[in-house]
Structure 1
Amino acid sequence: MSHTAHIRSHRKPRRSTSKIAMRAGVAGGVLSTLAVAGASGSASAAEPVTQTLELPTLTADMAVQVAQSADATQMAAADYELQAERDAAAAKAAKQAKADLADAKKQAEARKKAAEEARQAAAERASRTAERAKLSASASVSTSDSGASVSASVGTGSAASVISFVKAQIGDAYVSGGTGPNSWDCSGLVQAAFKQVGVSLPRVSQDQSTAGTQVSLDSLQPGDILYWGSAGSAYHVGVYVGDGMFVGAQNPSTGVVEKPLSYDPPTGAVRVL
């Protein structure tokens, strides 16, 4: 017997081939399972997750409530629209009423003014008519007292009558060719004024400017005839009424007026009374 026979050998025992193969198979299966699981995880991570939300089921009661709410909303909207239309109509009616009232006031004021003007015109016409009648009567008395036809040398009283006549026509209209009783041109007024005292003058201003004795403008007397333009070719005439004033039918815009000599200085004057 060897002296080392009782010492256990230090060499590892050999594994059998079948155990090694079994262990290899198990390891391979584990690796395969991990690979499949990894692949499946990767695929799951790549695909988005879809989540489904479940809506509450619309019951019959809820449907009725929704319908009623919609009807109420529609009725409220209709009421608001109707109220808005009524408000707009009321505002329009108020505005129209205000405009109608303003127009009515204007028309009433216009009628009142027209009536007042008509009344004043009637009063002025009546006054002029009375004045003319008085002048005619005065002229008739003067003529019968003298016992002869009134000539160009009638006294001072006739000049006053001429002046009263032309002043009575102040405010009458100017009309070319007018000879009264409510509208005149310049020579028509002068002719009518002197006719009241029995003095017959030519019709037109050119002839009236030479009808009497030429006098200086510094020596004027009431009743003198003023003229504008040259003697014999005058284009306008009037009557001097004293105190630096004259009366004449000036133009369509002024009519018969009384003005100072400075308003339109005359060229010359003639005296027929």
Structure 2
Amino acid sequence: MSPNALIPSHRKPRRPSASSRALRAGVTGGFLTLAVTGATVPANAAEKPVSETQEMPTITTALATSAARSADTAEQVAFNYERQALQDSAFSHAAKAAEKHKAEAVKKAKAAAKKKAEEARKAKEAAEARASRSSERSTLSAPSSSTATGSTATLVAFLKAQLGKAYVLGSTGPSSYDCSGLTQAAFSQIGIDLPRVSQDQSTQGTQVGLDNLQVGDILYWGSAGSAYHVGVYVGGGKFIGAQNSSTGIVERPLDYDMPTGAVRVL
């Protein structure tokens, strides 16, 4: 054993080197700094990690910002696509609805035009029929020797064929008639439908004066709308009617029983 073994050394303890201090420093600024004890490290080498640790957070922030911007852009693009899809769908529905309304309008217009044409056709036929009857009446000669033609001739011929038949209240033929039943049956021979009773027959067609009578005019007794008797003017100042149960169906001159008024349905 050396005689100096127990004598404390008076040597100053060795100061740790820069590399030892770096090793003990551990993590500096969030980065692990490694150094080998006893190695000689240039001064600029010890500072280099510090420089690198200052740049890396900047790179990380830029990447995060770029990623956020990319996400926002993607979201905006998706929103734009969705909005465009909704607009396209709305335009499509609007176009279909407009097309439907257009088709319905065209259909209604065609129906209205068809109805109008049909009404015009009927009006023309009615006018032609009236003109034909007027022409027939205009061909009649003097009242004392008048001879009806066409529909008026058919009407008068039917009425004359009923002369002498019985008057029966409420009867419409063929063996007996009341006054309105006879006129109704006579006009049905030429395609004209009259109401059943005298009151209604007295308001048909056009009212005419007794001084302007034509063959086929319906004569009525009483007031228009409440007549109690009817007959038919057959020309020559005469009428035919189912008068009463005593006389039956007869032909009489107007002054036999002067009517109150007359209507023209021909």
Q: Which has the larger radius of gyration?
A: 1
TM-score between the two structures when normalised by the length of structure 1: 0.44
TM-score between the two structures when normalised by the length of structure 2: 0.46
